Amino acid sequence: MKEKNDLKDFNLVDLARLLINEKKIIILVTGIFIVASVVYSLVADEVYELSCGIKPAELSKEISLSKAMGLGVSITNKKKPPVVRDILLSAHSKDFLKIFYEKYKNDTVFFDDLLTDINKDYRDDPYLEQRKFNVAMKFFKEELLTVYDEDLSTITFVFHHQNRELAYDFLIDYLKKLKKYIQTKNVEILNQDIKYYQSLIANIYDPTVKTQLSKKLADKIYQNKILSTNIFHIVQNPYIPHKRVFPKRKFIVIIATILGFFLSLLVVVSKHFYIYLRDELKEA
């Protein structure tokens, strides 16, 4: 009964005395966590974040690419201007990203050996190329992010990669090819419209209708001219970062130290609680 009373009367002074007596366990457990966190933060692959920003041009609401692309994402926000939707849809479309898949599919650094692993695991698979393409699209979906700022009407592209120089070259090329891709697709659509209106005008003799169609045709020709040179302009060029975004070594070590310390307290308390229960069972 005496031990039970002692346990019930256990207070902060007793706890402090217990922790001092078991300081070796506390130091050992906490030290293991600190060392492990330091080692992990040193051997973990470093990841860098690069970003660039563009500002879409102010274009007619009639311009749209939605009929021209097989898309990998959907944009449901109806408040976005048509030209913004075009850029967002194009930037994440499989048709556009395939350009970079073809460019980097044999580069083990860019895709972090993901495609190399697919080649090894599915060497004789007749759908090997499709598997590699799907893995590449998943890579772009996870590592290439897009942020639209409605207040500033800007689009920011954020890319995470272990090789900052390679990521920089990718973003530079990405912006160039994105503008060219949108221009080509939009011009194709407008050229089809222009031919359509031209054929209508050639076969209509009503002056009023012909005048209306001529205005539509002139508008399409004007849009075609604008789109040939004006899709968006760059407001923030990408640059090679000096600091990594992962691993954050100080943060990892601090969190590991806190976890290790509290785990060591749990070990010490559990140890003495086990001893108490064991003695109780012996006396019983």
Better pLDDT: 206 or 38: 38
Got the DSSP string for 85-125? HHHHHHHT-HHHHHHHHHHHTT-TTTTTTHHHHHHHHTTT-
What number of other Cβ atoms are within 10 A of residue 257's Cβ?
Answer: 15
Yes or no: say if 48 and 161 are a contact pair by the CB < 8 Å rule: yes
Together in a domain, 114 and 136:
yes
219 domain residue, yes or no: no
Residue 14 is predicted with a pLDDT of 80
**Which domain, by its residues, includes 15?**
2-44+248-283
Together in a domain, 37 and 134:
no
Together in a domain, 66 and 143:
yes
Q: Which of 276, 250, 253 is nearest to 32 (CA)?
A: 253
Residues 146, 149, 154: CA angle, nearest 5 degrees: 80
14 domain residue, yes or no: yes
Together in a domain, 73 and 154:
yes
Give the sheet arrangement for strand 154-161, strand by strand.
144-149, 154-161, 48-56, 232-236
Residue 8 is predicted with a pLDDT of 58
Count, residues in the chain:
284
234 domain residue, yes or no: no
Together in a domain, 18 and 67:
no
Together in a domain, 14 and 73:
no
Residues 6+ away with beta carbon under 8 Å from 137: 72, 94, 97, 101
Per-residue pLDDT for 76 more than 60?
A: no
- Give dist(CA 174, CA 157) in Å, integer: 10
Which runs of consecutive H residues, i.e. helices, occur in the chain? Answer: 2-8, 12-21, 23-43, 82-91, 94-104, 114-121, 128-143, 164-202, 207-227, 249-283
Together in a domain, 53 and 153:
yes
Residues 6+ away with beta carbon under 8 Å from 249: 38, 41, 42
Residue 70 is predicted with a pLDDT of 39
Residue 68 is predicted with a pLDDT of 38
131 domain residue, yes or no: yes
Together in a domain, 19 and 144:
no
Together in a domain, 124 and 79:
yes
Q: Which of 187, 152, 219, 111 is nearest to 211 (CA)?
A: 219
Better pLDDT: 275 or 3: 275
Together in a domain, 28 and 97:
no
Per-residue pLDDT for 71 more than 60?
A: no
Q: Which of 226, 230, 52, 72 is nearest to 146 (CA)?
A: 52
- The domain boundary residue, chosen from 183, 206, 237: 183
Which runs of consecutive H residues, i.e. helices, occur in 44-81? Answer: none
Better pLDDT: 185 or 106: 106
| Domain total of the chain | 2
Q: What is the average per-residue pLDDT within 125-137?
A: 94
pLDDT band at residue 61 under the 50/70/90 scheme:
very low
Evaluate the omega torsion of the peptide bond into residue 247 and state whether it is cis, within 30 degrees of 0: yes
- The domain boundary residue, chosen from 162, 183, 204: 183
241 domain residue, yes or no: no
Highest mean pLDDT among 135-144, 214-223, 267-276: 135-144
Together in a domain, 174 and 261:
no
> Could you tell me the two tokens for 229?
């040179």
198 domain residue, yes or no: no
Per-residue pLDDT for 81 more than 90?
A: no
Residue 229 is predicted with a pLDDT of 66
**pLDDT digit string, tens, across residues 236-260:** 999 999 989 999 999 999 999 999 9
Distances in Å between the alpha carbon of 56 and those of 59, 78, 237, 240? 9, 16, 15, 24
This prediction has a pTM of: 0.73
Better pLDDT: 38 or 192: 38
- The domain boundary residue, chosen from 183, 205, 232: 183
Together in a domain, 173 and 57:
yes
